[in-house]
Amino acid sequence: MEAERYFGPNLEATIIYYKQEQHMSCERIVETMRDLHAVTLSEGAVVQILERAGRKAEPIAEKIKQQVITGGVIKSDETSARVEGRNWRQWVFISEAGIYHTIVPTRSAAEIETLMGQLCVEAWVCDYFGAQLKAPARVFQLCLAYQPRDLQRVLDADPQEFWARAMQKLFRSAIHLRNRFMSGQDGMTLRGFQGRVTQIENQLDSLLKERIRSEAAGKLLNRFTTHRDKPLTFLRYPEIPPTNNESERALRGSVVHRKVTNGFRSKWGAKAYANLQTIIATAKRKGKAVFQALADLMGSPVLPFFEGSSP
């Protein structure tokens, strides 16, 4: 083996998998390795493996980051993270090239500026959060999974707020139209699709001029008026999804990890987790087995495998 390590890549990949994907503590990993795999390790050995994995993952995660930020369409989201007892933020950025995770101290627009540098992408898909709406992109798509939910809260408080019901129906009709056209259902022509898009755009303009009943509805009206160009972008650009669900799904495992482990005791632990999560998420996106991706990361097998021999 290399001078700086004591374990083979498959054993190391197993430990990383338990930590990243199964959200197990070091103590539980030690017990599982002993009881299930008949391998005796100390918690210090587990930490050493995770630290080494984080270092090996860093240049690969950096490469994935460069591929992601040069994509035409970027989807992003963020969630809370605990690092050394303090509140940090975990961001995820997705393009066709891969999925990049990073854990940083704040959720400000400066984090996106640092990530992107001088780059500007064609489109940015996100929720209604000011920092993300300052991202360097030519057009934006507000997540249409959030907007009907916010409108439903208005309806729950006042069922007679017909404006909110009409806006819900409009957004759902827009998504349905796009899905029908992209799937080729009903033989819809491009001209027919574009005509229906114009109708939906006109309906939105009309709804933004209507009078509303409640203060909660007024806040949403101000949102949609201020960001008039953002809710229906996906109807003009087929490559842009109407929701940001992919980013939310990409963070789901990290939310579970935070709840189970209560965060990271060190900054290097948070960085290692984000780098490894970048590799794992990108491997999944490309259809590669997670364990194999981790084993490849950690190096070549200690003993060569020859065809015809027993593994």
In tens, the pLDDT along 233-260 reads: 999 998 899 999 999 999 999 999 999 9
Does residue 28 have a pLDDT over 50?
A: yes
Q: What mean pLDDT is predicted for residues 102-129?
A: 94
At 301 the pLDDT is 57
Please state, as a whole number, how many other Cβ atoms lie within 10 Å of the Cβ of residue 295: 21
Q: What mean pLDDT is predicted for residues 26-39?
A: 95
pLDDT band at 211, cuts 50/70/90?
A: confident
What is the torsional sign of CA 288, 67, 175, 129? positive
Token duo for residue 242: 């109407």
Please state, as a whole number, how many other Cβ atoms lie within 10 Å of the Cβ of residue 280: 24
* Segment 84-88 long-range contacts (CB within 8 Å, at least 24 positions apart): 84/264, 84/265, 84/266, 84/267, 85/263, 88/270
The structure's pTM equals 0.90
- What residue segments make up the domains of the chain, in order of their start? 9-68+267-298, 146-233
Does residue 178 have a pLDDT over 80?
A: yes
Does residue 305 have a pLDDT over 90?
A: no
At 299 the pLDDT is 84
Cα 306 to Cα 299: distance, rounded to the nearest angstrom: 18
* Residue labelled with tokens 């017909």: 162
Parallel, antiparallel, or unpaired: how do β-strands 98-104 and 121-126 relate? unpaired
Query: Average model confidence (pLDDT) for the chain?
Result: 91
Cα 295 to Cα 90: distance, rounded to the nearest angstrom: 25
Which of 57-61, 208-212, 304-308 has the highest mean predicted lDDT (pLDDT)? Answer: 57-61
Helix-strand-coil split of the chain, %, nearest 5: 55, 15, 30
At 187 the pLDDT is 81
In tens, the pLDDT along 219-233 reads: 999 999 999 999 999
Q: What mean pLDDT is predicted for residues 119-136?
A: 93
Does residue 310 have a pLDDT over 50?
A: no
Cα 134 to Cα 163: distance, rounded to the nearest angstrom: 29
